Amino acid sequence: MQKKKRILLVYYKLFKPGGVAKVLTNLANALSEEGYTVEILLLMSKRDHFYPLNSNIKVHNIDTFSHWAWKICEFNVKHLRFIPKIKNFNAYIYHIGVFLMLRNWMRKNHQNYDTIISAWYKLSSFLALNKKASKKTIAWEHVTYQTGGILFNDILRRYYKNLKGIVCINSPAINYYQKFNKTYFIPNIIGEPFENQPEINFENKENLISFVGRLDREKNVISLLEIFKEANIPSDWKLQIIGDGKEKNNLEKFVEENQLKNRVIFHGTKNSYEILELLRKSKIFGFTSLKEALPTVLLEAMFCGNAIISYNCNYGPSDIVKNNSGFLIDVNNKEDFIQKLEMLTNSDEKLEKMMENAFKEAQKWKQNEILKKWQEII
Domain boundaries of the chain, sorted by first residue:
6-191+367-377, 202-364
Domain 202-364 - what CATH class?
alpha beta
What are 155-169's pLDDT values in tens digits?
A: 999 999 999 999 998
Return the pLDDT at 3.
62
- Supply the DSSP symbol for 163: S
Under 8 Å between Cβ of 295 and 318:
no
Instruction: Give the mean pLDDT of 60-66.
Output: 95
**How many CB atoms neighbour CB 257 within 10 A?**
8
Residue 98: pLDDT over 50: yes
Residue 42: pLDDT over 80: yes
Residue 41: pLDDT over 70: yes
In order of 8, 276, 357, the CA distances from 324 in angstroms are 39, 23, 6
Percent of the chain predicted with pLDDT > 70: 99
Instruction: Provide the pLDDT confidence category of residue 154 given band limits of 50, 70 and 90.
Output: confident
238-242 and 208-212 beta bridge pairing: parallel
Instruction: Give the mean pLDDT of 47-75.
Output: 93
Strand partners, 61: 42
In order of 17, 41, 61, 94, the CA distances from 64 in angstroms are 20, 12, 9, 8
Instruction: Provide the pLDDT confidence category of residue 1 given band limits of 50, 70 and 90.
Output: very low
Average pLDDT over the chain reads 92
Give the whole-angstrom CA distance, residue 323 versus residue 360.
9
Return the pLDDT at 334.
97
Common-topology check for domains 6-191+367-377 and 202-364 = yes
Strand partners, 140: 167
Give the whole-angstrom CA distance, residue 63 versus residue 325.
44
Return the pLDDT at 2.
54
Return the closest-CA partner of residue 247 out of 210, 226, 221, 228.
221
Return the pLDDT at 267.
97
Give the whole-angstrom CA distance, residue 43 versus residue 60.
9
- Name the superfamily (CATH) of residues 6-191+367-377: Glycogen Phosphorylase B; (3.40.50.2000)
Pick the range with the lowest mean pLDDT from 51-65, 118-132, 180-194.
180-194
Instruction: Give the mean pLDDT of 339-352.
Output: 95
pTM (two decimals): 0.78
In order of 191, 272, 318, 368, the CA distances from 371 in angstroms are 11, 20, 22, 5
For residue 172, count CB atoms less than 10 angstroms from its CB and return exposed for 0-12, middle for 13-18, buried for 19 or more.
Answer: middle
Pick the range with the lowest mean pLDDT from 37-41, 254-258, 276-280, 310-314.
310-314
Under 8 Å between Cβ of 104 and 83:
no
